[in-house]
Amino acid sequence: MKSLSPSRVLLVSVVLACAASLHAQSNATPPALGLLRLKSNAKPNEPAPLAAGKFGVDELSATGVVGASKAKKNNVDLLALDAGKEWSRPLRGTPHDVSFVSFQVYASQTTIIDIAGARLGVVTSPVTGSLQLMYDDSASGALQWKSLNFHVGTGKYDGRNMAALPTLTVRLDPEAGVWDLYSGARLLADHLPLIEA
């Protein structure tokens, strides 16, 4: 997972999950996806929680990353990136596994999030006081932003204007060359083409 921000960005949490043996390749939308699956006690009709060895919660380390700093606010770990800086982490599993990456970001305008060829961008929104989430539809080459019709209101965080994105989950299917995007359990987009590295 890579996050690049020409402005400042705050990463609140990142969960990396390998789902090769979870039968998660079904086209049906599960009733609970992303961080909800990490709860220790599943409710009736919800999927069983992931086994501890199948996921990892990233520690959001800023060690050795120029322009990155780590803090804790209200008992939550935060990683802040200065303008134009990049932070990355390896994904779990093998390059052929279906994987899920759940994350929460406070993004500024022009923030780019790249997860193994699934590229999201935060840009100006036509809705006043908001930013919008878009995806890169280029198979390779220059950016080609397409709207997801997903607008998030902005607020001041550490004196900067940012959009607090909800918990997003990217489902990567490298064998099929596609990815899906969820907000909580809501499917925002599916079968988007992965961008060649």
Q: Please, what is the average pLDDT of the chain?
A: 77
**The whole model's pTM is what?**
0.76
> Which tens digit of pLDDT belongs to each residue from 141-157?
678 899 999 999 999 88
Residues in the chain: 197
Q: Alpha-carbon distance 35 to 51, whole Å?
A: 13
Range of the domain at 94: 2-193
Q: What angle do CA 97, 102, 108 make, to 5 degrees?
A: 130
Domain count, the chain: 1
**Tokens of residue 74, six digits:** 């209200």
Fill in the DSSP letter of residue 95.
T
Q: In terms of pLDDT, which residue wins out, 7 or 37?
A: 37
Instruction: Grade residue 11 by pLDDT with cuts at 50, 70 and 90.
Output: low
pLDDT tops 80 at residue 26: no
- C-alpha distances in Å from residue 83, one per residue of 5, 16, 94, 112: 6, 25, 32, 12
